[in-house]
Chain A
Amino acid sequence: MKTTRLAQLASLAVVGSMALAACGSDNTTGSTSAEGSSSSASASESAATECFSGTLNAEGSSAQKNAIEEAIASYGEACKDAKLNYNPTGSGAGIKQFIAGQVDFAGSDSALKTEGKDGAQSEAVAAEAFCGSPAWNLPMVTGPIAIAFNVKGVDKLTITPAVAADIFSGKITTWNDAKIAEINKGVTLPATAIKVFFRSDESGTTENFTKYLKAAAPEGWTADASKKWTGAGEGKEKSAGVAEGVKSTDGGVTYVEWSYAKDNKLGIASVDNGAGAVELTGESVGKAVAVAEQAGTGNDLALKLDYATKEAGAYPIILVTYEIVCSKNKDAEKGKNIKAFLKHFASTDVQKGLEEIGYAPLPKEVEDKVLTAIDALS
């Protein structure tokens, strides 16, 4: 009897210490990332913010999750009574909840669709019906999509749209293919097989990346842009999955948000749209946003990105995520609160801070337009 109890205690101790050890290793990574975010939060503290007390709920795109959380953290520091929640369930779910009146505003990878799908009412019409006023798309977070690769011995790579289309549709199968070598003179490319990883879930990243391929290399990429991958390769779950796949596979390549490529220390290809190779930086992304046309009217700032842009120094593969709001809120108090928070989010300080976590700040001219639109909210 005594021995049994002792053994039970011993086994408990073993299990307990294993659990503790697991926690320990978790903590180290957790604390470093926490430090990183807190330092950038303090950088944007100085903004003069209008405060409110109460709760705002938002839901939608997971692509802007880190950015909006950063903005919420810095807003919360300035305004202790304000409580904001963002639920990153995906753009589709966010818009649905917004139209159903479950959340105060939605985050989305694409502007409200003006055409209905499968005979259903279009998103824009449904949102307007719910709001009783037009719903506006406000570009807020720019997330560049990196072409991330892991090829032993290669840390600099340039890719043209045509080559990208061939790689991601499976027409080029090895890294030392003549087409890749031609635009990467001076780089020794191994004969490793190219392993393409794609997002197995439906994703705004896939949609924007295929939009880019379709626009910039229409001969190489014939499939229509869609949230579901139509090219070659093997699918992995979410951004974390594809980044992990590339990281653990020699010869792997994928398209993924900048932050994931940076965090996993993957190689990031420069893109040559015809005006020379452009490296992925906050500035080069801002340039591409600045040359985008406005698709919406007035204060509806839905953008029409020019993926095939030949603007020198503009990185063309970008994803602009929007905050979708009612231009006139039924609840005036809510409207004021939304306005206060978005103003903070669009402020130069907060936008600058986003670059550290893998987003690009809005260029000045777009930021001004967004702030004007926010001022017109009620």
Chain B
Amino acid sequence: MSTSITGHSAIDDLPDPEGHGPHEGDRASTSRWGDRLFGGAAKASGLFVVLLVTLVGLFLIVQAVPSLLNNEANFLTSTEWVPSGAEPRFGIAALLWATVITSVIAMLIAVPLGVAVALFITEYAPSWLSKPAAVIIDLLAAVPSIVFGFWGLTIAGQYFQPVQDFLAGTFGFIPFFKDSGFSAKSTLAFAGIILAFMILPIITAISREVFNQVPTPHKEGALALGATKWEMIRTAVLPFGKPGVISGAMLGLGRALGETLAVMILLSTLNPSAPWSFSIFNGGETFASKIALNAGEFDSPQKTGAYIAAGLVLFILTFIVNSIARVVINRRKAFSE
């Protein structure tokens, strides 16, 4: 049978073997079934996630508000925590401090270390080493947090004791390093160190990803101009990867803020009459560890609400951190497109 490739031929006007008229559209040129189905499913998934987050937020608010209204202390500035009884008094100042300081310590260690590891893998390591090294770093992310906690408690903690003794002994006059009589493995500082190990894989993986995307002409250009390897990294790789590193760090921070089990196992909590201290060698509780620790004994709505209010603050805190990461990533997109 002969058909013309271009133009109009007689056969086009005849019905095809199945009896359809000539040149009849399928009436669905812009939205075939598959398209509609897939598009709809994708849209529904997207909406579902948005709805889920909204409902979680709503749930937290609804549960927290009645307790907050009964609260006799200032929720944001008080360090007391007596959530039940006729006159509940509770505030999140101590929790906020412990949460933020452990995360900051974790970031101070994990960000430089993660970037260095990523640079080693992408720039320095021979190719036979870089892949397995990357795989092993990613494996760190698969270690459950309770394992990190136990490792810190039973093995790593004792080696931190001399470090703490030295710092507290030498810089003890600064309130930040004041010795509070806690053993090294149960302080905010050590919890921060363990958190650093836990967020290292996230930061490394994302940094590695962006460092790999640095255009070769940038790097070769720098080298051609006489830059040493370190100068090439400083002038070509780091500026290009900076937004990626920042967003990786933010994602890591989000995890550090919300980490529960490892922190709960490690940190010694303070007794109710302990004086307020800014020392990183003090014990304490983070939002997540406090909620997890007491979840078994939520025996009245008032008490539950108080803990949920603390959870709400953590939710907002993490939300802010993640939003910042989003903004940074989006800005980066504008550059590369």
> Is A11 in contact with B128, judged by CB distance below 8 angstroms?
no
> Is B293 in contact with A11, judged by CB distance below 8 angstroms?
no
Contact A234-B283, Cβ < 8 Å, known A3-B128, A118-B303, A200-B293: yes
- Give Cα A95 to B136, complex, Å: 46
Question: Is A220 in contact with chain B by the CB < 8 A criterion?
Answer: no
Interface-located stretch among A44-52, A66-74, A236-244, A365-373: A236-244
Q: Which of B131, B135, B271 contacts A235 (CB 8 A)?
A: B271
> Is A234 in contact with B269, judged by CB distance below 8 angstroms?
yes
Proximity bits, A206-245, B CB within 8 Å = 1, else 0: 0000000000000000000001111111111100010011
> Is B268 in contact with A201, judged by CB distance below 8 angstroms?
no
Question: Is A42 in contact with chain B by the CB < 8 A criterion?
Answer: no
Interface-located stretch among B162-170, B227-235, B294-302, B317-325: B294-302
- Residues of the B chain whose Cβ atoms lie less than 8 Å from the Cβ of A236: 186, 268-269
> Is A118 in contact with B297, judged by CB distance below 8 angstroms?
no
Closest to B158 in A: A248
Question: Is B102 in contact with chain A by the CB < 8 A criterion?
Answer: no
- Give Cα A367 to B41, complex, Å: 62
- Give Cα A202 to B306, complex, Å: 15
- Give Cα A90 to B296, complex, Å: 5
- Residues of the B chain whose Cβ atoms lie less than 8 Å from the Cβ of A8: 131-132, 135
Minimum CB–CB distance from A96 to chain B (whole Å) comes to 7
Proximity bits, B129-164, A CB within 8 Å = 1, else 0: 101100110010000000000000110001000000
- Residues of the B chain whose Cβ atoms lie less than 8 Å from the Cβ of A233: 271
Q: Which of A95, A96, A118, A234 contacts B271 (CB 8 A)?
A: A234
Q: Which of B139, B265, B297, B300 contacts A241 (CB 8 A)?
A: B265
- Place the interface of chain A in its size category: 35 or more
Main secondary structure on chain B at its contact with chain A? helix
- Give Cα A235 to B128, complex, Å: 48
Question: Is A117 in contact with chain B by the CB < 8 A criterion?
Answer: yes
> Is A120 in contact with B293, judged by CB distance below 8 angstroms?
no
Question: Is B85 in contact with chain A by the CB < 8 A criterion?
Answer: yes
Question: Is B273 in contact with chain A by the CB < 8 A criterion?
Answer: yes
> Is B183 in contact with A15, judged by CB distance below 8 angstroms?
no
8 Å CB interface, B320-334 against A: none
Closest to B130 in A: A4
> Is B297 in contact with A235, judged by CB distance below 8 angstroms?
no
Minimum CB–CB distance from B265 to chain A (whole Å) comes to 6
Minimum CB–CB distance from A148 to chain B (whole Å) comes to 17
8 Å CB interface, B268-290 against A: 268-273, 283, 285
Question: Is A93 in contact with chain B by the CB < 8 A criterion?
Answer: yes
Question: Is B182 in contact with chain A by the CB < 8 A criterion?
Answer: yes
Proximity bits, B248-265, A CB within 8 Å = 1, else 0: 000000000000000011
Q: Which of A3, A15, A92, A234 contacts B268 (CB 8 A)?
A: A234
- Give Cα A193 to B180, complex, Å: 13
Minimum CB–CB distance from B139 to chain A (whole Å) comes to 6
Minimum CB–CB distance from A225 to chain B (whole Å) comes to 14
Question: Is B2 in contact with chain A by the CB < 8 A criterion?
Answer: no
Contact A4-B296, Cβ < 8 Å, known A234-B268, A236-B186, A249-B183: no
- Give Cα A93 to B303, complex, Å: 13
- Give Cα A202 to B304, complex, Å: 13
Question: Is A10 in contact with chain B by the CB < 8 A criterion?
Answer: yes
Question: Is A100 in contact with chain B by the CB < 8 A criterion?
Answer: no
Give me 25 A-to-B residue pairs in the complex whose CB atoms sit less than 8 angstroms apart, sorted by A's number: A8-B132, A11-B132, A11-B135, A15-B136, A15-B139, A92-B297, A117-B84, A117-B300, A118-B86, A118-B300, A120-B301, A200-B285, A200-B293, A201-B294, A202-B297, A234-B182, A234-B186, A234-B269, A234-B271, A235-B270, A235-B271, A245-B186, A245-B268, A248-B183, A249-B183
Since A232-B271, A241-B265 are in contact, a sample of 20 more A-B pairs with Cβ atoms closer than 8 Å, ordered by chain A residue number, is A4-B131, A7-B129, A7-B132, A8-B131, A10-B132, A11-B135, A11-B136, A89-B296, A93-B297, A95-B299, A117-B299, A117-B300, A118-B302, A198-B271, A200-B268, A200-B269, A200-B293, A230-B272, A235-B269, A244-B153
* In the A-B complex, the 9 residue pairs with the closest CB atoms: A90-B296, A235-B269, A234-B268, A200-B269, A11-B132, A202-B297, A92-B299, A118-B300, A118-B302
Residues on A close to B: CB < 8 A? 3-4, 7-8, 10-11, 15, 62, 89-93, 95-96, 117-118, 120, 193, 195, 198, 200-203, 227-237, 241, 244-245, 248-249
